Amino acid sequence: MESTSYGKTPGSNLPNSLDSTLNRASSSAHSAVDSMAGAADEAARKAKPKIDQVAAMAHKAVDKAADAAAPTAEWLADKGDTLTATQRKLVADTCDYVSANPLKSVGFALLAGFLISKIVL
């Protein structure tokens, strides 16, 4: 790692001996930071193969999960049309019932609302 000058320390109005000590301490701290950065770079370089190995394992796990979910997705796609048709029939039957029995429907709605409010509150 290369050595870099970081400029003067904030205590430039101090006496020379104190300013010199402060500069040495600052330079020493900067050197320590540079050394730690170099060590971190080295550790990252050494860890890269392991990181790549873990990433490959993760990709395999995702592929395996996708393969396991595919039959379920196909089943749902096949049943989706049937479920949609059943839903439409249920809505149509409900509309027909409400049209044929409006007072009864309002009574059921009020009763259901009352029961739900008692359960929730």
Domain ranges for the chain: 16-120
Q: Average pLDDT over the chain, rounded to whole?
A: 81
Whether the predicted pLDDT of 74 surpasses 90:
no
Task: Give mean pLDDT, residues 48-62.
Answer: 83
How long a stretch of residues is the chain?
121
pLDDT attached to residue 15: 59
The helix or strand, by DSSP H or E, that contains position 81, with its residue range, turns out to be helix 16-100
Question: Taking a C-beta distance cutoff of 8 angstroms, is the pair 1, 35 a contact?
Answer: yes
Closest among 12, 10, 13, 6 to 29, alpha carbons compared = 6
Query: Given a cut of 70, is residue 7 above it in pLDDT?
Result: no
For residues 93 and 105, what is the distance between their CA atoms, to the nearest angstrom?
13
* pLDDT of amino acid 28: 81
- Indicate if the pLDDT at residue 110 is higher than 90: yes
Query: Would you state the pLDDT for residue 3?
Result: 47
| Token couple for 27 | 């330079």
Q: How far apart are CA 103 and CA 110, in angstroms?
A: 11
Angle between helices 102-120 and 16-100 (to 10 degrees): 150
Mean pLDDT along residues 36-61: 82
